[in-house]
Copies of this chain bind each other. A is one copy, B any other.
């Protein structure tokens, strides 16, 4: 009975699917006649399977004026079909001791279950049924819209930090749909109706637009056979769904977004740069940005933390993050929380200094090697979780990468040079085109 979940968490750090540490045999990848991609990831350690369906559409594919429809439909996908009325699917998963969830991101929507491997066929039948037979009535749509509106109130409208993030993101992506929050703008959610959900469902929920990922103690041919008997029955469309997105014009100005709210107790600073994603980058560039983010701000031994928190003592935390997994150009963040009494302008200038210093000096090659080793190790550890492994493949394929891209990632990380990292920093961490966010308590006047 888990509620659908709005996923805006960081992408997984991918790992080496070909390394000795990878559980099970080789990953198989095939396509049914109706266009459904099928990926099978062997994992013989437990008798449990992870079953995921990924649709290659997310909030950035919401039609103009219908923001939030991808996420709203994710909620509505739990409302049942003619064959399996509301609750039956979730009850089955629970009764069989399984887990289920769903998430909507900018670029994809995914549904997953974990369950004893003997029940995989049953899950497929249910998931295939709701891929084409969703039943929506006004009676279920209207109350669920209230649930989403309440979700928005709780997560965003009552949280100044979330409001700042929305405003920063809107300033960074003024024309591209990543500037619109995944959950949607309140005034548009309020007007989403049954027909909007059905139109969106009919447009995107098709086998050609979906990827089935199964990880577990299963044979690829058995999975393919079951997939053929369930998903394979759904006819392909004459035209497969297309993403149609506006692209951002070149940025020329720095934008500072300041949010003042009396609820703010802890001021905060963030800076966001528009950078290439794994899909849009030149070869090696995204890997360099990934390493750059970790060297600058990946934990207490990173440059930002050491300088701002340990040495200068003007911040109580500092970090950086690269959201590399995206269909279009994406975000690179640096952020810090000021120490008591330190104002954000001072912290901002110190951050500028850290970046400038980083770019103008030779790279610490030991730090570079430590970072690579750690990132690749992290990726291997992440594969220890069957669900993480499945999710890593799903997210990569759903954002336009291939199985080969995924599997070559550790080798590409190893190949990144000190010069690549410095070049990425010089090219992309250009404050003149970035957005800076200040979160401050409202001045009581």
The answer to whether A252 and B171 have CB atoms under 8 Å apart is no
The answer to whether A246 and B164 have CB atoms under 8 Å apart is no
The answer to whether A252 and B259 have CB atoms under 8 Å apart is yes
Copies in the complex: 2
Q: Which residues of the partner chain B approach A185 to less than 8 Å between Cβ atoms? A: 175, 249
Quick check: is A33 within 8 A (CB to CB) of the other chain?
no
Could you say which of A67, A247, A251, A255 has the most chain B C-beta atoms within 10 Å of its C-beta? Answer: A255
Quick check: is A150 within 8 A (CB to CB) of the other chain?
no
Given A174-B174, A255-B256, A186 and B65 contact (CB-CB distance below 8 Å) = no
What distance in Å separates the Cβ of A163 from its nearest Cβ neighbour in chain B? Answer: 5
Quick check: is A404 within 8 A (CB to CB) of the other chain?
no
Partner of A188, one of B67, B171, B244, B246: B246
Could you say which of A170, A180, A247 has the most chain B C-beta atoms within 10 Å of its C-beta? Answer: A170
What distance in Å separates the Cβ of A417 from its nearest Cβ neighbour in chain B? Answer: 26
The answer to whether B163 and A252 have CB atoms under 8 Å apart is yes
The answer to whether A256 and B258 have CB atoms under 8 Å apart is yes
Given A175-B170, A175-B185, A185-B175, A253 and B259 contact (CB-CB distance below 8 Å) = yes
Given A64-B64, A432-B260, A171 and B255 contact (CB-CB distance below 8 Å) = yes
Partner of A256, one of B167, B250, B256: B256
Quick check: is A22 within 8 A (CB to CB) of the other chain?
no
Quick check: is A194 within 8 A (CB to CB) of the other chain?
no
Quick check: is A187 within 8 A (CB to CB) of the other chain?
yes
Q: Which residues of the partner chain B approach A164 to less than 8 Å between Cβ atoms? A: 253
What distance in Å separates the Cβ of A196 from its nearest Cβ neighbour in chain B? Answer: 14
The answer to whether A246 and B167 have CB atoms under 8 Å apart is no
Quick check: is A29 within 8 A (CB to CB) of the other chain?
no
Q: Which residues of the partner chain B approach A232 to less than 8 Å between Cβ atoms? A: none
Q: Which residues of the partner chain B approach A249 to less than 8 Å between Cβ atoms? A: 185-187
Quick check: is A84 within 8 A (CB to CB) of the other chain?
no
Quick check: is A27 within 8 A (CB to CB) of the other chain?
no
The answer to whether B187 and A180 have CB atoms under 8 Å apart is no
Quick check: is A179 within 8 A (CB to CB) of the other chain?
yes
Cα–Cα, bound, A256→B344 (Å)? 15
Cα–Cα, bound, A251→B253 (Å)? 20
Partner of A187, one of B245, B247, B258: B247
Cα–Cα, bound, A174→B188 (Å)? 14
What distance in Å separates the Cβ of A162 from its nearest Cβ neighbour in chain B? Answer: 11
Cα–Cα, bound, A48→B358 (Å)? 70
Given A174-B174, A188-B246, A167 and B65 contact (CB-CB distance below 8 Å) = no
Partner of A171, one of B163, B174, B180, B244: B174
What distance in Å separates the Cβ of A334 from its nearest Cβ neighbour in chain B? Answer: 18
The answer to whether B258 and A167 have CB atoms under 8 Å apart is no
Quick check: is A192 within 8 A (CB to CB) of the other chain?
no
Q: Which residues of the partner chain B approach A432 to less than 8 Å between Cβ atoms? A: 258, 260
* A:238-289 near B, CB below 8 Å: 244-247, 249-261
Q: Which residues of the partner chain B approach A175 to less than 8 Å between Cβ atoms? A: 67, 170, 179-180, 185
* A:131-188 near B, CB below 8 Å: 163-164, 167, 170-171, 174-175, 179-180, 185-188
The answer to whether A167 and B64 have CB atoms under 8 Å apart is no
Pick 6 A–B contacts, CB within 8 A, sort by A.
Answer: A64-B244, A64-B246, A67-B246, A186-B249, A253-B257, A255-B255
